[in-house]
Amino acid sequence: MAFSSPDAGAASSRGAALFVAAAFAALAAVPLVAGNYGVDLVGKIMIYAIFALSLELLVGTTGLVCFGQAAFFGIGAYGAVLLSPASEPAGLAWLLPACMAAAAAYAGLVGALSLRTRGVYFIMVTLAFAQMAYYVVHDTPLGGGTDGIYLMLKPALGSLLDLDRPLVLYGFTWACLLGSFGFLALLLRSRFGRALAGIKANEQRMRAAGFSTYPYKLAAFVVSGALAGLAGFLFAVKDGYVNPELLSWHLSGAVLVMIILGGLGHLRGALIGAFAFVLLQEFYKSEAVFGSFAKHWHLGLGLTIILCVALLPRGLVGVPQRLRERLVGRPGGRRSTAGEAAR
């Protein structure tokens, strides 16, 4: 029988904190060592990481498998374009909150109706709402149809923060990712976050304890939608272009794969999953490595994800723990642990 040390949990928490601090420090240093392509790629990954964090709040924390997250992402992106004036750069101080509020409002509507269902019905309702938003921008002049819309002038905050400059945009994206991660970390440690964890573990028991679970789940939906809207806003500003594919179910599936690949139930898992997914995608798309097979990159990516899920059921975030378990599982390790317990 294996016994865990009382300090194992504290050591694991310290290790996670050190990993997150090192990761953000490394991201901050990327512009110093990478070229334009590297800065653009890492900037895109950080946007997807914010997007993955938004879904992690629903799936990994609350246990709500939403298959319409791309709708909130796309609303934030389209809001950045549609609300921007054509003659001058929009004010960042009002445009960003407006895009997040629009995404949060639609998330509130979706959550208010879909949370009355359960299981596969909940998944299908969220998908249906996402498809409704998709067809609004795809089939009406509002979203420019299949051609999409260009963002002619990127927003700015006076002369201090001009997002038309790549390094300024990178720094702003980094700050948004750090703020999103810190906000969710504090949220999950609060009474609200513990209530969401209880709902995921046993919603009926939470109701018996006197908690009205519906408002908690709806609030989680709204917060998740706002963060997805933030990611969509940054994506639109980075590319200067939006199209209906930003609201498609393919993107909802991709971000769900990100958090599963990284490891459900961990905020850092969303970061790891976003980086792993995009880097694997770029790797299999490389014609320098795979030649003509690069056009079938979906096959290689899919097989890799299947192997990761089969071999790492806890996701990439669980790799260090898996290695520790293998070390402790050795005969010498078991004898030492049992001896400590006996003493």
Q: What is the DSSP string of 261-281?
A: HH-TT-HHHHHHHHHHHHHHH
d(CA 104, CA 224): 8
Angle between helix axes 69-82 and 92-114 (nearest 10 degrees) is: 150
d(CA 46, CA 13): 23
d(CA 198, CA 61): 9
d(CA 313, CA 231): 28
d(CA 303, CA 48): 21
- The total of other beta-carbon atoms located within 10 Å of residue 333's CB is 15
d(CA 18, CA 9): 14
Mean pLDDT for 129-139 is 91
- pLDDT tens-digit map of 313-334: 888 888 877 777 777 765 444 4
Angle between helix axes 249-262 and 297-311 (nearest 10 degrees) is: 40
- pLDDT, averaged across the chain: 87
CB 218 within 8 A of CB 66: no
Residue 340 has pLDDT above 60, yes or no: no
Residue 10 confidence (pLDDT): 59
- pLDDT tens-digit map of 234-289: 999 999 999 999 999 999 999 999 999 998 888 999 999 999 999 998 888 887 77
Structure tokens that stand for 233 in this block: 């806003």
d(CA 44, CA 275): 10
Residue 318 confidence (pLDDT): 80
Q: Are strands 149-150 and 156-157 parallel, antiparallel or unpaired?
A: unpaired
d(CA 199, CA 244): 34
Structure tokens that stand for 245 in this block: 């594919």
- The total of other beta-carbon atoms located within 10 Å of residue 313's CB is 10
Residue written as tokens 């946007």?
47
Residue 23 confidence (pLDDT): 92
Reported confidence tier of residue 335, pLDDT bands at 50, 70, 90: very low
Residue 302 has pLDDT above 90, yes or no: no
d(CA 62, CA 43): 28
CB 217 within 8 A of CB 199: yes
Residue 338 confidence (pLDDT): 44
Q: Computed over its alpha carbons, how large is the radius of gyration of the chain?
A: 22
Instruction: List the single range of 179-193, 215-229, 262-276, 287-301 with lowest mean pLDDT.
Output: 287-301
Residue 112 has pLDDT above 70, yes or no: yes
Residue written as tokens 């409704």?
132
Structure tokens that stand for 303 in this block: 């097989």
333 CB-near residues (< 8 Å, 6+ apart): 327
Q: Is the dihedral of CA 239, 170, 45, 314 positive or negative?
A: negative
d(CA 311, CA 53): 23
CB 63 within 8 A of CB 224: no
Residue 58 has pLDDT above 50, yes or no: yes
- The total of other beta-carbon atoms located within 10 Å of residue 304's CB is 16
Helix, strand, or coil here: 218?
helix
Mean pLDDT for 27-47 is 93
d(CA 223, CA 64): 13
Domain positions in the chain are 35-248
